[in-house]
Amino acid sequence: MIFDHKLAKLSLIFDHGSINLKRIIDIHLKAWKREPKRKPVLIRGPRQVGKTFSVRRLGQSFSSYIEINFEKQPELKKVFELDLVPTRIVRDLMAILKKPIIPGETLLFLDEIQEAPRAIIALRYFYEEMPNLHVLAAGSLLDFAIQQVGVPVGRVSFLYLYPMSWLEFLKAHNNTILLEKIVNHKPEEPLGTPIHEHTLRLLSEYFAIGGMPEAVASWVESKNPLACSEIHQTIIEAYRQDFHKYAKEQQIKYVELMFEHGPKQLSQKFKYSAIPGEYRKRELSPAIELLATAGIVHRVYHSSGQGIPLGSQANLDIFKMLFLDIGLTQAILGLDFADWFLNAQNNFINKGAVVESFVGQELLAYSNPHSKTSLYFWQREERGSQAEIDYLIQKQGQIIPIEVKSDKGSHLKSMRIFLESHPASTYGIRFSTHDYSILDNVYSYPLYAIHTALEVDTNSIADFIKE
């Protein structure tokens, strides 16, 4: 196993913590419960990001909670095959499960719903004919089923879930005081050297562990990096085992190839020619699409950034690949994450690709959970130019360039070029290991304050902190 000599030593020097894996999505689920005209919700996200866990927590607030897992209970698929009449479906489920399902009092959760495509179609009829019944559905490979059967437009809502964010990582450690300070801090005021450096040290833990809930829970409970490393490897193997579920036999080797070698081009413009072997775009491109549909990778597309929406300016043939979690990414690459504990400052400098990936992961985590978010970057198209902006976002009606600096360097040539060539963008944002500051039209934020770049739902964040 990799890292044993360092991790074994590290496992002895940390205190135990208490587990408190609360998520921002929990606030949105509670709000959905209270809505008088709610729709059934499909929770979308890759395997093991915590979908089922959050639904079960919500279920504790109901008089009764019914969970159906179509992967573990395939016989229940037959209930949805006769017809799609909600009253009949509920009646049959009660008879089989011997549990009451009462509108207004019961939460009905249909897990791994991709295994029962007709159950997806049935959600529209629950909305139309039994609107008082709370119905949630989720699935680790749900998007593949949606591609086949679609979803009833206007009859079903979505919630997207990603790995745990840095703020959720802090919450899991019951570090509420620091969490409040970061969320409420004004960008024009430095946080101060002692707190700033302390927070960067805590952030380095997140860089080592990542945001997969099982790994975070293990870290909070035992502070044992060996255990977290084993969890990463288990999750990676689970993703590999899924390949045969959504890839055709002749595609599996290409999916495996992209899964293993894609992370080696982290933060770089993706080149098919850099993949080992003599493979062509037509062989590898479908494999990337499959991994993206499974939620394992996200493509950061090139955009000229000259207008809103960013997607209308995008070139879909030019992209960078972002893997869903920095902890898993480093495990796939075989990077020694023990250095995040032993020499964090140098790691922020030497692992710039991981730092850029972290920012992308955070941008997704704090995006609007009700719609799918796409990420974009900018690169000057003139021959010989190396000017590049790591991310572009839309905020308050304009496009904001974001540069990620893994060290404390102040070089912002690409930012200046972008702002000069895009007069509609009035300012830019830099994320680095610097404290908060503002210089001219560039806002500098520390890496632990990515949420400040987005138009986040401040009420949801505030409620999350109070939880």
Domain boundary residue among 160, 191, 215?
Answer: 160
Answer yes or no: is 2 within a domain.
no
Distance CA 367, CA 8 (A): 37
Q: Is the pLDDT of residue 6 over 70?
A: no
* pLDDT one-digit tens code per residue, 147-194: 999 987 889 999 999 999 999 999 999 999 999 999 999 888 999 999
Tell me the mean pLDDT in the region 431-453. 93
412 or 62: which leads in pLDDT: 62
Tokens at residue 232, please? 């990463």
Q: Assess whether 347 and 317 both reside in one domain.
A: yes
Q: What is the CATH number of the domain that holds 38?
A: 3.40.50.300
Residue 387 in tokens: 């000017």
| Among candidate residues 130, 160, 190, the one where a domain is terminated | 160
What was the pLDDT predicted at 98? 97
Check whether 5 has a pLDDT greater than 70. Answer: no
Instruction: Give residue 384's pLDDT band: very low, low, confident or very high (50, 70, 90).
Output: low
- Please tell me the predicted confidence (pLDDT) of residue 453: 80
Distance in Å from the first CA to the final CA of the chain: 38
- For the chain, give the mean pLDDT: 92
Specify if 387 maps to a domain: yes
Residue 158: count of CB within 10 angstroms of its CB: 16
Does residue 371 belong to any structural domain of this protein? yes
Summarised one tens digit per residue, pLDDT across range 200-221 is: 999 999 999 999 999 999 999 9
Give the mean model confidence (pLDDT) for residues 43-67: 97
Residues 371 and 418 in one domain: yes
| Res 321 pLDDT > 70 | yes
The reply to whether 59 falls in a domain is yes
**For the whole model, what pTM was predicted?**
0.93
- Please spell the DSSP secondary structure of 270-333, one letter per residue: --GGGSSSS--HHHHHHHHHHHHHTTSEEEEEEE--SSSSGGGGEEEEEEEEEES-HHHHHHHH
Which secondary-structure segment (H or E) carries 379? Answer: strand 375-379
The confidence score (pLDDT) of residue 1 equals 34
Q: State CA 20 to chain mean position distance.
A: 19
Question: In this structure, are 203 and 286 located in the same domain?
Answer: yes
Count of domains observed in the chain: 2
Say whether both 197 and 314 belong to one domain. yes
User: Is the predicted pLDDT of residue 4 greater than 70, yes or no?
Assistant: no
Residue 405 and residue 429 in one domain: yes
- What's residue 410's pLDDT? 60
Q: Tokens for 413? A: 């040539």
Looking at residue 409, its pLDDT comes to: 56
**210 shares a domain with 98:** no
DSSP-derived secondary structure letter, 155 = T
What is the helix (H) or strand (E) element at residue 67, kind and residue range? strand 64-69
Q: Residue 211 is encoded by which pair of tokens?
A: 């945001």
Residue 11, domain member (yes or no) = no
**Locus of tokens 């702002």:** 419
Say whether both 172 and 302 belong to one domain. yes
65-124 confidence digits (pLDDT tens): 999 999 999 999 999 999 999 999 999 999 999 999 999 999 999 999 999 999 999 999
User: Does 177 share its domain with 109?
Assistant: no
Query: What residues make up the domain containing 352?
Result: 168-466
Residue 16 lies in a domain: no
Same domain, 149 and 185: no
Quote the pLDDT of residue 16.
33
Residue 203, classified by CB atoms within 10 Å of its CB into exposed (0-12), middle (13-18) or buried (19+), is: buried
Same domain, 145 and 123: yes
Average pLDDT of the residues in 317-344:
93
Same domain membership, residue 133 and residue 48? yes
Element holding 43 (H helix, E strand): strand 41-44
Question: Does 240 fall in a domain?
Answer: yes
Q: Which amino acid is at 123?
A: L
Residue 204's nearest CA partner among 336, 348, 335 is 348
Average pLDDT of span 309-327: 95
Domain boundary among 138, 160, 182: 160
* 95 and 180, same domain (yes or no): no
Share of the chain above pLDDT 90, in %: 83
Q: Within a domain: residue 7?
A: no
Compute the distance between CA of residue 452 and CA of residue 448 in angstroms, rounded to an integer.
10
